[in-house]
A and B are shown apart, each in its own frame.
Chain A
């Protein structure tokens, strides 16, 4: 059920929050 999705977990998948891309050449 979508309502059990955790909003903060969802947000943490944001591209803008995933700084790992800074290290990809």
Chain B
């Protein structure tokens, strides 16, 4: 805890790890980690003022509504909650968001999306899970499709991905599938993360002043 940045940072940040450590372990630079702290602070003090991100705070930031239940947001929250404490601390926030950095390896994005869609955590994406995901998407959007259309979409996609035809998509099949269908991972890259120091310039001004 010797340097200026850790004094500025560490004691206040729940789940505190030096920004330098987080930067070296993730796709972020030290400046980007520091800029992310500004976003983290805003989210983690939005409802329950304890410096941790609770699910309602996550939903509020995503939907401008803290009560909006959503299967996808639940899944993302649970995957961000690496220590399984029911809340997201700063370390978890940075490590998880790093997967969404445009520079993060595609293998990380592929693995994260697989976990996201493996709803029951069996190590496979099953057809029932895919159906559930499609129905949840339709539910949150204004898109209305008949049951038979939903079945056709699910069957068609599933058979493309389940290349060995054993009724479940394993991680290798998923990897092959996203190679052929890169648009399926489109949401896994956030250009914002590359510009994060521009979005939260106040921290950078302080960092530069410090140097």
Contact = CB atoms under 8 A, between A and B. Distances in A.
A20 B97 CA distance: 11
Interface in B75-123: 75-76, 97, 100, 116-117
B156 A3 contact: yes
Nearest to A12: B187
Interface string B123-137: 000000010011011
B153 A10 contact: yes
Contact of A7 (B71, B140, B154, B199): B154
Contacts of A7: 130, 133-134, 153-154, 156-158
Contacts of A9: 181, 183-184, 186
B17 interface: no
Interface residues of B, number: 48
Interface string A1-25: 0111111111111111111111100
A8 B154 CA distance: 9
A16 B134 CA distance: 13
Contacts, number: 105
Contact of A23 (B140, B149, B199): B199
Nearest to A14: B72
B33 interface: no
16 contacts: A3-B156, A7-B133, A7-B153, A7-B156, A7-B157, A7-B158, A8-B117, A8-B161, A8-B178, A9-B186, A10-B137, A12-B185, A17-B187, A19-B100, A19-B190, A23-B199
Given A9-B181, A12-B183, A16-B75, 15 more contacts: A5-B153, A6-B160, A10-B137, A11-B133, A11-B184, A12-B187, A15-B141, A16-B71, A16-B74, A17-B72, A17-B76, A17-B116, A19-B76, A19-B100, A20-B191
